Structure 1
């Protein structure tokens, strides 16, 4: 099913899916963050900016594209955080300006809007630098413009655009010495790629995709002690409301007080981001022209010291039991500090779990057993270490991933009741071939029969495809939403792809993703949200 027009509702879904991926990968992006300063917050800033855009876009999502795009731009302007977040906000503003008179657009009009988005971001910077999000977004816009004349399908165009963006991202270390020294790609550019990859989830609804999970190398801290913040140590942000000055004259006055200066918006609302040694002087100048609101000052030198020199003092760490090599990579990508592989035909010992908890460089460690058979051993760990170890009762790998999304990047311990409440929302099932004849809860299962376990309740069917469709239905897929398949044991990617296509065809409005889990004995773990 080709998608040839993008309207307001579709654009809101575009922003929602992109925001979801920024949330998913924010820990990875934080770790990649070494430019313009190594303060480790690019992922969080981009996610929170996109979330602010989504909040406003969702309020008007049933209106025409121009209205939804304007709402997203306005939300991102007020909610923009950090250098990368402000640049993302400016891109949304440029996009909004390009589509300001349109109820929907085709691929060619999208390419023009992407070009204007990049131009707006470049214009906001006093000294644009190559090898950053600007380079990556520019490559994406150029590819869209090159192909749009002959490619009306948004899905095909978006795939090509994402490839171009990823290619540009891989070249960023050759353009910025700081990236090459740290051995990483640009964090803002990576965030832009993740946003695009997430946006592909809604194009088209019946298409099944497996995102590379992870796209970038496995999550790891990349800071080096030689990296330094410099004299402009205070990341200063604010909104100037009821402004009686335009952005460019104000920028000219602030330029001499720091770097990474971004002054965006227009009367009566202007957003300012600057790295400076004199935040109060910046505030005094701005106050001449309006009301300074949403004032925020962060000491980037202190942030960097905490990340590099005082790393063992991190407040929160995560150790997770993983069911297979695919789950291992996913858990690390989503923020697990330490993973505990499940031994073949056995479960991790108390010693295995204790070593993992002690290996996490944090004063509070959340231990995710991810298997009801590991829970008892996990309960022994807190008494064997001086650390505070919190056992989160994750009953399976799917619940473990849900907890990682809530815990990763936390800068303080999370209330236990909030975590257990979140676990109640997790819907999951395992699918396997029965190892012997049995009867459980009144359900007779024959050896070798495709069988699914949903909350301890068994269902069976003559064929694996039929069973997975029925399992998805019992999880609630008939109401729309997202199904994710994690394949393991004897299953191959092509098998997962066929099953995902079957689910997308069977359930209207459902979105389907599949990933390699690598778990033994279980053919598929299925999650629904």
Structure 2
């Protein structure tokens, strides 16, 4: 029997089913990645994000669809991991924003379609520079399709059938929209994970409840037909407006304030604009070449609470490391001026970061991204006026940035470090006597003036930008590209080092992992000494897995 309306009880069954379906199949999503490295984590991030939200829903006995969607949205936001998790949390935030407007115990077909539209719109706002060919395209085109078919759709079931069919069609064409996917011969893994969620919704409508650990694969599903799904990397960004500017304002008179007061002038000054109000708080994100003008405009309507301005043209791209859980330290009794929070993997690397002044190390990296809640917990436990977060992974930056909005009482900056090497280099430039924005500028400059790379192994055959790769080969990665591939770990490492070194290089730091033998390390050191006899060499036992070597050259 078709469902003409969506009740809170049915909505709860749908979202729970979707989360469990994703969880049961998340390894399949993890294994489908642009780079053939053993660190695919999109499925893990998405399922952990979803299960965090579902946990909150299950702990609350309400049957109100408005309350359920609100609780789910908050739980997802706090549990969001990685770019894919943050985008997913924003999709459900968009659903809630539309459902909250409904003065009824159930959602009509038109209401549900509008909620799906709100979900895709909110998802786009979560990303500074939305890239087509990702999960964003999947949620947008699916919602647009049901809008087009609106007059012909008489039930929630019919809406979801059209929505899911379009999602699969869009997923197939993602490689045509994002060159890195086409080159690797894969489709977007975030979109594939989202389809698992929607498949779970459909099964709930049909009365089928999925149990955890039940491995469900829909017959003739896209994943079953095509063993080529992947890509949590959202690709390179062409920067037109150089300053990523974010601030929170406490409004003088929020009842009379209209978001257009900020949106209209700022839309003429930049792009990637997000203007959100929550009662007396205004949150603004914009890419602009005039951050000072944006801040001055905001002061007309209230008092600035937090400010973050990053020069995006000084940022580079890298790919990195793993795991999760917080290294505990005692909270200082007196309020300190600074606290540094860093994400790192490998006991040796963690120890080095603590020695360099990091106050809290959150274990994690490419295979296990920390959640938003992990960062919020660390911030609240640290007693500091100013907090600098080093994500050390491109897939963790968006999660870390959520803390600026969630913790407006703290002066937080997220330094956009995209690798352990970048984080290590930036810490050398930190000076506790300087102001926070001076530190951010100095630390960013350190990142700009260094090169870094990692060595790991391939888990499948592929070819990327002329580099032929075979399963089991060792690959050298730098600037988010596979530069070297051979069947020998030391040869790959030495070839990568040759690419990173230049006549201006003064220091090379080598973090070696758990799989590196003493004789292999000796060969690498010998090669460096031969290649650049005058360079200073620092060797650190990082004890990291997945990456045999992490290299920083300054």
Task: Give the TM-score normalised by the residue count of structure 2.
Answer: 0.44
Task: Give the TM-score normalised by the residue count of structure 1.
Answer: 0.46
